Amino acid sequence: MLYLPNAFAYIVSLQGLLYAVIKKIKMKFTRTASDQYSSARCGLIVTDHGEIETPIFMPVGTVGSVKGVYHRDLKEDIGAEIILGNTYHLYLRPGLEVLKAAGGLHRFESWDRPILTDSGGFQVFSLSPIRKLTPEGCVFRSHIDGSKHMFTPENNMDTQRIIGADIVMALDECCPGDADYKYAEKSLKLTQSWLERCVRHFDETEPLYGYSQTLFPIIQGCVYRDLRLRAVEHAVSFDREGYAIGGLAVGEPVEKMYEMLEVVCPALPQDRPRYLMGVGTPENILEGIARGVDMFDCVMPTRNGRNGMLFTWDGIINMRNRKWADDFSPIDPEGTSFVDRTYTKAYLRHLFVAGEIFAGQIASEHNLAFYLELVRQARQHIKAGDFMKWKDDTLKRITKRL
């Protein structure tokens, strides 16, 4: 018993030393290739949970799972290097006490590769019919039981510390894509004031589980060039390890989205990754890569898959269509996944018509594998120097309706 105080002091000193090391080890990004005819580039993100080759698509695991897909298949068949979780949903259910007791989201969901969390701002503004924005934060009601909650920049950072993602997002207001200039400017000022508080509180707190975390500011500004550039200048002043681009694909014309990417990406640091939030279709992804985006996420592969829409190398398929009833060819002859090598269009259509859960599982796995293969091939062609020709040829194929 006489040695316990010394042992305790030794443990405390080790914890302090460990955190000192963590503070110095930040997420790293290295550019590995660039396309001479566009802004497309390849890179490598290094986190404490593994490496991520970019451009990358990140499957969405909103509440701690990518719907209908085993982690085994995400790793071995689909090749996911990073997945997402959502702060709003995880905060409400299972809740922070459970997540902290589990040792964070990685341990809770048994995933040992990188995780990124959205701050939940978009969900607060899109799911809650009753909400109030103030300089202090946002008050909202749960979509589950109507209970009242509040996110502030400070408690949102604390929440994402408890969730334990490798990459976390600053709290922001997601401005509607059709907002007028006056509203967009007011919204941006609120997002910027919240960002200042997020950065301050994040830097004053510590990771909880023995590995480092990285905070990305979110660039807002709707479809207004000067607001976007103002947002970039403000965000870059904090010198973070990466930057997210938000408030796109939220109702604005797709041409405006591409225009804003052409404004924002060149203004962001060349040696930091750029994450386009919530986008999107395979076409959006390839056009985003061409404009300098490195990271993408979207629920479309799994959500559309569960509803019978498949993205293939020959075009887009509605699996409920009668024409596939006696088509015994593979789901996608050029597909790389286990389900593409195993099941036929006729079988998958039968499962959808019969209402079998397995249909959505197969379709989700196929679509995710297609998205991951799409960005893998994009990386290959950026390195080979023929990305733009490959992109244009590929878009002609994959955007057709079959």
Q: Mean pLDDT per segment of 10 residues, for the chain of length 402 residues? A: 37 42 70 97 98 98 95 96 96 97 98 95 71 90 91 97 98 91 96 98 97 98 98 98 95 95 98 96 98 97 97 98 98 96 97 98 98 98 98 98 95
Q: What confidence tens digit (pLDDT) does each residue in 176-208 have?
A: 888 999 999 999 999 999 999 999 999 999 999
Catalytic pick from 73, 118, 332, 340? 118
- pLDDT value of position 19: 43
In the numeric block, which tokens belong to residue 95?
């809740």
Confidence (pTM): 0.92
- pLDDT value of position 128: 58
Catalytic site includes residue 145: no
**Please, what is the angle between helix 225-236 and helix 254-267, to 10°?**
40
- By C-alpha distance, which of 282, 280, 309, 290 is closest to 370? 282
**H-helix or E-strand containing 258?**
helix 254-267
Omega of the bond prior to 120 within 30 degrees of 0, cis? no
- pLDDT value of position 152: 97
Catalytic site includes residue 118: yes
- Give the Cβ contact number of residue 237 at 10 Å: 12
DSSP per residue over 266-329, as a string?
HHS-TTS-EEETT---HHHHHHHHHTT--EEE-SHHHHHHHTTEEEETTEEEETTSGGGTT--S
Assign residue 220 a region: left if phi > 0, alpha if psi is -120 to 50, beta otherwise? beta
